[in-house]
């Protein structure tokens, strides 16, 4: 007879029975060294068991998972829903007697405990025998009074709570601890454990002491509820405070405009637009825009916000140039201003006539070179003249284009006239003359 799972890849073979940790030995109450009574108190209990092995009863397991509940733990489902017990040490070699002190229990209350062990690859044992323990009574039978919780202030990420401390016994004495929790739904006894605990609450003072506490790191775009309760030295809990609602803030602040925008031609017919990621925690995504002229209009390319920080315009329009910009959108729908506009030079097979685009940089300082972008038609002619004039229409410089290849083309003007002298600051006209047509653009030279 063949071996079970033979021939299967190792990743899908059944786990051999002998690699599972052994069933955890029966949990028993221990006698502490030198103690005259079993370790069950009003607020704690000491549990003991015999360490199993890594492979059945040999070797050494990797970790324990001890849990407690107020209901019997008779299945793995019930175990998963039970509360993990902190402070359980690392498993010792098989056969070692181990123990743990469980604290923070309530007097005169029945608890159920169960234990599982796990090996180094995560294989878990079956449940141990469930153990039932009832804590002893305490002479302290009064719970702390209900906490009078209130909301003092709020901001776009914080809520400031206030209360007056209650006592250990109702309104007398000194409580041990305050617990504050928040949720996105009203808090009551049924969902208190599922609410989000906060940390750093002030230590209670004498009953009547005024306290303030700031809960930070909140998402104020949602309604939030807060509740609190006090705990005394034998872990009696007060009743829940009133569940206080803090309405959400209407977020009207847009994200920052994206930065680092760039664009490049890919594969001859596509354009890849890239930008740097925004840092807003409520960022939803980005919108990408394209224009076929420097001044627009811009058309949105993405129907809804996208998460990646790049976008492929495929295929890009069959034209000489395209201009791209990106905006950011937050979870409330606020849209930022657009990023800096970037231009991509394309080879437009569909270009049917000579054309001139706005020179750049524009404005430009005297003494720097200006680029004059042109479109050359696929069918020609391929020769043209560019004339620079001053604001009064007086001739300044002639630049000739001979045998230009079809598509995107550009020439440079160094800011000098035909005699080689530097031109003064001011507005200049740029005339493109080709195939009996003339196209005018302008540029500004600054000091």
> For the chain, which residues make up each domain, given as ranges?
10-134, 150-246, 262-345, 355-446
**Residue partners of 379: CB distance under 8 A and separation at least 6:** 352, 406
Instruction: State the average pLDDT over residues 365-385.
Output: 89
Determine what percent of the chain is predicted with pLDDT higher than 70. Answer: 89
Q: Which pTM does this prediction carry?
A: 0.47
| Phi and psi, residue 10, nearest 5° | -60, -30
Instruction: State the average pLDDT over residues 403-417.
Output: 89
pLDDT at 5: 40
- Give the model confidence (pLDDT) of 279-289 as tens digits: 998 899 999 99
- Give the model confidence (pLDDT) of 24-83 as tens digits: 444 554 433 433 334 788 999 988 888 887 665 667 888 999 999 999 999 999 999 999
163 confidence band (pLDDT: 50, 70, 90): very high
Q: Does 9 have pLDDT greater than 50?
A: no
Range 10-134 classified under CATH 3.40.50.300: no
Cα 69 to Cα 61: distance, rounded to the nearest angstrom: 24
- Give the model confidence (pLDDT) of 92-143 as tens digits: 988 888 888 998 898 999 999 999 888 888 888 888 888 888 999 988 889 9
Window from 63-67, 311-315, 330-334 with minimum mean pLDDT: 330-334
Instruction: State the average pLDDT over residues 8-20.
Output: 39
What is the token pair recorded at 20? 């599972």
- Give the model confidence (pLDDT) of 172-201 as tens digits: 999 999 999 999 999 999 999 899 999 999
* Structural fold of domain 262-345: Immunoglobulin-like (2.60.40)
Cβ 118 vs Cβ 53: under 8 Å: no
Supply the mean pLDDT for the chain.
Answer: 86
pLDDT at 242: 95
12 confidence band (pLDDT: 50, 70, 90): very low
Q: Does 377 have pLDDT greater than 70?
A: yes
**Residue partners of 304: CB distance under 8 A and separation at least 6:** 285
**CATH code for 355-446?**
2.60.40.4070
206 confidence band (pLDDT: 50, 70, 90): very high
Instruction: State the average pLDDT over residues 372-392.
Output: 90
For residue 85, CA distances in Å to 80, 89, 101 come to 12, 11, 10
Q: Does 444 have pLDDT greater than 90?
A: yes
Q: Which CATH architecture has domain 150-246?
A: Sandwich (2.60)
Of 15 and 122, the structure prediction assigns the larger pLDDT to 122
Instruction: State the average pLDDT over residues 305-324.
Output: 91
Same fold, 10-134 and 262-345: yes
- List the one residue out of 187, 162, 163, 167 whose CA is nearest residue 177: 167
Cα 305 to Cα 308: distance, rounded to the nearest angstrom: 9
């Amino acid at each position: 007879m063949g071996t079970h799972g033979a021939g299967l890849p190792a990743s899908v073979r059944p786990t051999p029975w002998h690699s599972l940790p052994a069933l955890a030995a029966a949990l028993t109450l221990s006698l502490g060294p030198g103690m005259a009574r079993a370790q069950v108190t009003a607020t704690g209990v000491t549990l003991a068991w015999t360490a199993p092995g890594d492979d059945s009863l040999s070797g050494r397991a990797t970790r324990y998972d001890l849990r407690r509940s107020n209901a019997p733990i008779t299945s793995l489902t019930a175990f998963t829903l039970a509360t993990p017990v902190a402070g359980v040490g690392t498993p010792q070699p098989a056969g070692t007697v181990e123990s743990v002190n469980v604290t923070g229990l309530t007097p005169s209350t029945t608890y159920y405990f169960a234990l599982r062990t796990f090996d180094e690859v995560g294989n878990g044992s079956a449940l141990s025998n469930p153990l039932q323990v009832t804590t002893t009574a305490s002479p302290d039978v009064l719970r702390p009074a209900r906490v009078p919780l209130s909301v003092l202030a709020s901001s776009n990420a914080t809520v400031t709570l206030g209360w007056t401390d209650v006592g250990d016994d109702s309104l007398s004495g000194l409580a041990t601890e305050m617990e504050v929790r928040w949720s996105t739904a009203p808090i009551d006894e049924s969902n208190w454990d599922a609410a989000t605990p906060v940390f750093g609450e002030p230590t209670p003072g004498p009953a009547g002491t005024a306290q303030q506490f700031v809960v930070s790191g909140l998402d104020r775009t949602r309604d939030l509820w807060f509740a609190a309760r006090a705990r005394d030295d034998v872990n009696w809990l007060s009743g829940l405070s009133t569940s206080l609602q803090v309405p959400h803030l209407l977020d009207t602040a847009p994200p920052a405009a994206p930065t680092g925008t760039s664009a490049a031609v890919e594969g001859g017919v596509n354009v890849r637009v890239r930008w740097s990621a925004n840092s807003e925690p409520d960022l939803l995504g980005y919108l990408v825009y394209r224009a076929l002229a420097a001044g627009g209009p811009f058309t949105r390319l993405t129907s809804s916000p996208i998460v990646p920080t790049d976008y492929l315009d495929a295929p890009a329009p069959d034209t000489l140039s395209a201009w791209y910009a990106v905006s950011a959108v937050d979870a409330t729908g606020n849209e930022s201003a657009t990023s800096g506009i970037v231009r991509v030079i394309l080879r437009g097979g569909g270009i049917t006539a000579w054309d001139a685009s706005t020179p750049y940089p524009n404005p430009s300082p005297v003494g720097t070179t200006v680029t004059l972008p042109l479109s050359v038609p696929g069918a020609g002619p391929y020769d043209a003249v560019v004339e620079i004039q001053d604001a009064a229409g007086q001739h300044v410089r002639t630049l000739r284009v001979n045998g230009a290849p079809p598509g995107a083309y550009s020439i440079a003007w160094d800011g000098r006239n035909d005699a080689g002298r530097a031109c003064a600051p001011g507005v200049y006209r740029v005339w493109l003359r080709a195939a009996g047509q003339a196209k005018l653009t302008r540029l500004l030279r600054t000091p």
